[in-house]
Amino acid sequence: MIYSPLAVKICGVDFKNPVITASGTFAFGFEFSKLFDIDKLGGISVKGVTREKREGNPGPRIAETYGGVLNSVGLQNPGVEVFINNFLPFLQSKKAAVIVNIAGNTESDYCYLAERLSGTGVSMIELNISCPNVKEGGLAFGVKPDTIQSITREVKKRSKKPLIVKLSPNVADIAENARAAEYGGADAVSLINTVRGMAVDADTRRPLLKNITGGLSGPAIKPIALAMVWQVYNAVKIPIIGMGGIMTANDAVEFILCGATAVQVGTGNLINPLTASNIIDGLRKYVEKNKLGNLQEIRGKLLID
């Protein structure tokens, strides 16, 4: 890899910069590639992939709220075989690292997906045990430390790729859950996934989402995400990929100061498709302005009196 002040290595995988597009907000990259050169990205975490095709939850399943978006999409996707055959070749033709977010209803689903994807050219696997939109599976695995450790251990046995465990904020102790993932063999953790929430129409007296509750993302959850990244940074030794309301380069820097090695940009992509690209440009300016040799020099260097 050509030296860059933004370059970072995570679990042996080279990223030209620490900006990754978050799962569920960038699909498989096709649409965004028509708007900007996605080779510019450090990485792409693809839309959650399951063993079989999923239609997702019934609509309405997206609702705006103050400072964010509520979604209950329900992991709509074409299934792992269609992803590998129809979408992965396009992603592999790009220079960004490819992270495949996997989800399932049972432990065997996750294990199958990890093993199947290990034989492909993907860079990393992101274990989504924290999605609050699937009634069975997802949330149950991601709440208790013992189940996190157990499923991480079993999936890690089948994965030849570095394994990221994506953590839910809807828990009693995020640091304890991160330690459980680390003990289970996770190579890295990503956090935070969406915060459970709901929206109501006062006139119709009905919830705005058909599923009633959904996952809140966007700037509204950034303070929660920063606090949890800081907690986890002080609890584990493995790399952290931070996310939650990152809209600008300064937002990304705040996460790195709190201990994140890289960041994922999610809801920002829906507001402005060029958000991730603009953040990369902003990070270059930040490095130059602050005369840093590499952005990682400030990782975890939050100044506390």
Residue 271 sits in a domain whose CATH number is 3.20.20.70
Quote the mean pLDDT of the chain: 94
Is 237 within the bounds of a domain?
yes
User: pLDDT, tens digit, for every residue of 226-284?
Assistant: 999 999 999 999 999 999 999 999 999 999 999 999 999 999 999 999 999 999 999 99
pLDDT digits (tens, 9 = 90+) for 263-277: 999 999 999 999 999
Whole-structure pTM value: 0.95
In angstroms, what CA-CA distances link 153 with 50, 97, 138? 19, 24, 16
Q: What is the pLDDT of residue 2?
A: 52
Write down the pLDDT at residue 141: 77
Q: Which residues are known catalytic residues?
A: 131
Is residue 1 assigned to a domain? Answer: no
86, 102, 167, 179 from 148: Cα distances, Å: 31, 15, 9, 9
Band of pLDDT at residue 106, cut at 50, 70 and 90: confident
Specify if 2 maps to a domain: no
How far, in Å, CA of 177 to CA of 241, rounded? 15
% the chain with pLDDT above 90: 91
Residue 118: inside a domain: yes
Could you read off the pLDDT of 144-164 as tens digits, one per residue?
899 899 999 999 999 999 999
In a domain, 93, yes or no: yes
Q: What is the pLDDT at residue 140?
A: 60
Number of domains forming the structure of the chain: 1
- The residue with greater pLDDT, 64 or 132, is 64
Which domain, by its residues, includes 196? 8-298
Euclidean distance between CA atoms 277 and 256, whole angstroms: 18
Residue 299: pLDDT over 90: yes
Cβ 154 vs Cβ 111: under 8 Å: yes
Q: Is residue 303 part of a domain?
A: no
Omega before 99 within 30 of 0, i.e. cis: no
Whether residue 236 is contained in a domain is answered as yes
What is the phi-psi region of residue 208: left when phi exceeds 0, alpha when psi lies from -120 to 50, beta otherwise? alpha
Q: pLDDT tier at 132 (50, 70, 90 boundaries)? A: very low
Flag whether 27 is in a domain: yes
